[in-house]
Structure formats: C-alpha cells, structure tokens
Structure 1
C-alpha cells in the first residue's frame, strides 16, 4: 500500500482541527450550555419585566455566538428572531465597518482632510477623517438626550432644526478645541462621516453601498438604514438589524475582517478600529473610544472599563442598552438588545456572567 494512504486520516484530522464555522442562510448551532452559570446570566439579563413603569433592566434579545456557532438565544417583549431592532448608536460602528470596505478599495486615507469629501467643513481645514472616527472633531457639540433636551445638539439634529440635513447642521457648529486634541462624543461627527462617504464612493453607489459592500456579502437580508431628507444615511442612529444579522457583523470583526475565504475589510482597518484614542482621559465615558468602536483597554494600561472581561473585548454601544460585544480571545460574539430607561444595566456585570457561562471562567 502506498504511504500516501497513511497520510489521508492525518490530513482529514488536520482539516477538522482547523475547520471554521460560518453562517449560511442560517447560523450553525452548537450545544446550549446549562447550569448555574446560565441561570445567573438569565437572572441578570431577564428579570421580571415591568411594562407599566418601564423601570429596571429590560432585555429584548440576548444572543451568543461561540466559535461561529449560535449557542444561546432568548427574546422578550415584542422582539423576536425576525425583528429588525433599532440599534441606535451601534449604527456608528456599523458605519465604520462600511467605511472599512471603502478603505479596502483605497478610496480614502484616514489623514485626509474631512473637507475634501464634505466641503461644508471648509472652515475646519485641519479636521481629518481620523478625527471624526475618534469623536475628536473639535466641534462644540452637546450630546445630551432626554435629560437636557433644550441644550442638546443631538436632539436638535435628529428631531428639530437639523433633521432635514444632519451633516450640514453639524458642520455649522463652532469649534471648542483644535481637531484631534480632545475626545467629545458626538453623533454629529458620525453623520459628517456618513455625508463624506457619499463623495468617497460616489453618489451613484452611495444609496446601495451599505448593502453591496457589507450586508449582502455577510448574508444580511433584512437590514434597514434610514436617511435624512438630503439622502444621507443617519450614521449616528437609525440602522435596524435582527440580532442574528448583527451577530454576523460581530463575527466579521472577531475574525479580523475576514468572511470565509474573503478578506472583506483590511486587517489594518480593524487594527485602527481597535486602537485606543491616545488623548482619551479616564472617566470621560463608559468605555474607551477607538476608531468608532468602544474598547476595554486604553493607552494607559491601568484603565480597563470592564474589569471582569478580557482586555481584548471591544463593542458597539447604543442608547437604551443596545450592545454588540466581541471577545476575540474567547471566540465570543454577544448581541444584546434592550429597552433600558433608568441606567441600571451594567456592561461589566453581563460580561462577567457571560464569560462564566460560555468561557468557563473570567480571563485576564
């Protein structure tokens, strides 16, 4: 018998070890864990739901992908597996992911002036696209919500005088600092990026670009992304996806921009998303800003917003408890949709319980 025949079992074993699971039309499933750790996770995520006062933690969906397989899924309220849920500011990270495809097409550079692609910013010639991705435009912006609506730039942009052309409204703001020097979270910065994308990819491609560039290659069939009256995507707030579809974006990011055999987004773009903004100061927000994603590490290694999660954890975060967590070291993607109104939900608490349930223990 040829020696080659003895190699076949070894090769098959090797292929099995290195095989990866990817979703087709449906997610492949794995064994659903059970036991006290899962019970502890569910007790936190799904307490009795008060539909009258709307107080407390109110999880609409919780979904976990491990090693490319759907291993946990639960819904509450009116949300189901088929619900395209409002993601709020997860939209910002989705916009950054769409930009990653354009970056792979070599259509722009991060250090180019933002005004090159959005001329309404011509009075801010030193502002770069990287500054916008770091929420460091330097524009004097107030990101206050229902607690201070009269002084809120974002409320005016989304609902009143800025709603017809949100990027133009943002561009009219004066500066409070030079671009790139200070972090100030701004939905306006995200909508300036959405407007710049129109000129980066061209007006003809723009209306379909999130679909042709990102959603369709990932097998996302039911995404909705609203535009303002000027035809610009509301990159800050108004993308809607099912939990299962958002998890596809999470798996793409967990695997460094690769989808199957295709490098859909360059690795150096993913590295930019996950690099802490050097001028961020601890206490400015609930997580560390990267390139339009949120990180569990800072340039200062003593800063770790979610101490019970691995340091490589990063996330897309949205208003009222929308979250996409990605934990590469544990091969985990977690989608959590919510309707939290009183601030009781804590990222670290859910991550701690999820790590205990799905990774066996909290990792450093």
Structure 2
C-alpha cells in the first residue's frame, strides 16, 4: 500500500518537490531568524487591507489579530493587533484539522495505520460503518449524513450539536451515530465530525497512555512548538476539528514542515508520500464550487483536472489550512512563503485571494523551480 501510494503521489505531484529543496538551509531554532523587509507602498496596501480601523461595537469588517510572513525560513514581516501578541496562543478553529492531519502523518510514518484501513479497526464505535476507511475521513468523504452550518442553520447543524450541546461530551461517538447519505469515498461533504473520528482513532493507534502527549512528542516538540494547547472532550479525545491553540510563529513551523515535504532539520519527520496525499485533490464528486478543493484535510488551489482553484491571484501550488472567522495558514512553495493570518471576522468582508494578492505584491521574490 505504501509503495503504491508513493508511486501514485509522485506521479500526480503538484510540484512542491523541487521547490522544497530551494533555499532550504535556514531553519528556526528556539526562535526564528529575522530579516525584516523595508517598508514599501505595497506593504502599506497590505496593512491597510489586513488591519483597517476596528469597529468593536458592530464587530463587522476585517478584524485581523496577526499577520506573519516567513520566506525561506526567516521572518520577513510580522504585525499584531492588541490584545494578540507574538506570545499569544490563538484559537485556530478548523486549522486544527490540518494540524491533526500532520500528527497523523507521523503516526503513518511509524506504520501505525494504513489509509485503506477501516476506521472501525481503531475506533470500534464505528462498527456499523465498517466500510469507511481513513482515506475517506481524510477527504471529508465518509458518506455520513452531516450538516456543517454554524450561524446560518443552528437548529439543523450537526457541528453545533457536536461542539456545544448533545454531542459535546463524546464528539466522535456523536458523529458515529449519524446515518449514511452516500457510499464512503465518493462524495465530498465537509465535516468536523470526520475530523474528530480521526482524533478518536489515534487513541487506539498509539495507546491510551501515550495519547495525551502524542501530538507533543510526535510533532510539536520536534518542531520546537512550545505554545500549543489542545482541548479534549469529556471522553478524553482531542477536539481535532476545532480546538487547537498556537502562536502564529509556532503555527508557521507546521507550514514550513509542509513546504519542505515533511523534512525538518535533516529528519524526514512526516513521510513524503503522506504530504503528497495531503496535497492531491480529492477525486470524488459533488465538489460544489472552486471554493472547495479538498486534499487530505488541507485546502488546495488546483483541482484534479488541473484547472485553477479559489485563489486565482496565487500560484497553483498554493495550499492552506483554514479556520472559522478568518484563520489561515497559507503555504506557497514556489514563492518560498509561509503566511499565518489570525482574525476575528464575523462577516464575509475578508477574502483569502485578496490577502494573497497583496502579500505576493508586498513580498515578491525569485521564482522557485
């Protein structure tokens, strides 16, 4: 299975392999190296967009808390809006999904599971859905009848019930109790429940005793991440969908790991085959629009047929971890950039493509291979 996956992923690679070897000598130690760029009109335009005056009464408009730009392993730009600082672990919301996917990448490299394994093998509560595989959960394609709406349909929302009401004590069990609307692996339907089933399955993969520390021992500590906080539900399962907290600088370490195809200071921390799987577009149907191009718990800027994705101002190899209210970790291998944006946006004012357009104009660099 692993050899087949690696051959497949190498064949359909979106081009980050060559880029990951360009200017790859600078790594963060306890802190990041810093090489701030001089102020320019383009940077001013970026700041005017990302940090406009706030209206704390209406809570409308773009409300950035942090913007951090890493180029070739060095901080070139950093700006915060109070009370957020460089030392503030910020709620990442659904960026947590991509963080959990990276933790699972370490477990995959340790041969603790295979993508084609039944989820029920590691989470027996899924016995009635034994045909759902890890590959399906990674693509948000479990086929479970899930409703992800938040503010717009709270009475019908599976995710609101899971996080806040009848499902919050045991989120994976709540998800497993849903019915079926499609054959697993055939239809994309974004689901925080799928992500929490992954988090619950990890518990048996690594054992109850190791589980509570595993994200730290497997991923955070090797990367030098010291700020991470991850909430668990009453069953002791990490809320892999939503509740990881991290400083912008620490989240950028995960972005750099992904940009460099799982390598960290000479160590292949996450297998390249796992990274390529994460960054390969889901091949199923009913991907509703160019705003939804899922990979393996990451979001992509190129569809399976090669057409451009939701951020036309950015290179096709751009990918991202995205969260509620404007949280974003963008990785642009061909530009050598990792960008973290934290926010508190309560309306639709913020646009990912506009931020990427302004950031690329503000921080142009030599094109990578």
Place the TM-score, normalised by the shorter chain, in its bin.
Answer: over 0.9
Corresponding residue for 2:114? 109
Cα shift readout 1:226-261 (whole Å, capped 9, x = no counterpart) = 000000000000000000100011111111101101
Match of 1:96 among 88, 92, 101: 101
* Bigger Rg, which one: 1
Cα deviations across residues 189-232 of structure 1 (Å, max 9, x unaligned)? Answer: 00000000001111111110000000000111120000000000
Which segment is superposed worse, 59-68 or 73-82? 73-82
Structure 1 residue 315: Cα displacement: 0.4
Is 1:264 the counterpart of 2:269? The answer is yes
Q: Which residue is 2:11 aligned to? A: none
Other structure's SS at 2:32 match: coil
Q: How far apart in 1 are the matches of 2:187 and 2:333?
A: 29
Alpha-carbon contact 2:68-2:77 (below 8 Å) kept: yes
SS class of match (1:229): coil
TM-score under structure 2 length normalisation: 0.92
Q: What is the match of residue 347 of structure 2?
A: 342
Query: Are 2:158 and 1:144 aligned?
Result: no
User: Would you say 1:24 and 2:38 are equivalent positions?
Assistant: no
Please state if 1:200 is matched with 2:202.
no
**Offset of 1:19 from its aligned partner?**
6.4
Matched, 1:130 2:116: no
Moved over 3 A (4+): 280-285, 360-364
For the structure 1 residues 285 and 150, does the alpha-carbon distance in structure 2 shift closer, same or farther, using more than 3 Å as the test?
A: farther
Contact 2:24–2:73 (8 Å) recurs in 1: no
Change (3 A) 1:181 1:19: closer
1:37 CA drift (Å) = 1.0
Secondary structure (helix, strand or coil) at the match of 1:64 reads strand
- Write the distance in 1 (CA, Å) between the matches of 2:290 and 2:181: 19
Aligned pair partner of 2:186 in 181, 187, 212: 181
113 and 21 in structure 1: CA distance in 2 versus 1, 3 angstrom threshold: same
Q: 1:88–1:319: 8 Å Cα contact kept in structure 2?
A: yes
Q: Distance in 2 between matches of 1:361 and 1:331?
A: 9
* 2-structure distance, mates of 1:251, 1:302: 26
Unpaired segments of 5 or more residues in structure 1?
A: 1-16
TM-superposed deviation, 1:124: 1.0
**Larger RCO, structure (CA 8 Å, separation 6 or more):** 2
Matched, 1:120 2:125: yes
Asked whether 1:52 is paired with 2:60, we answer: no
2:321 equivalent to 1:316: yes
Paired residue for 1:250? 255
**May I ask how many residue pairs the two structures share in their alignment?**
348
Deviation at 1:286, TM superposition (A): 2.3
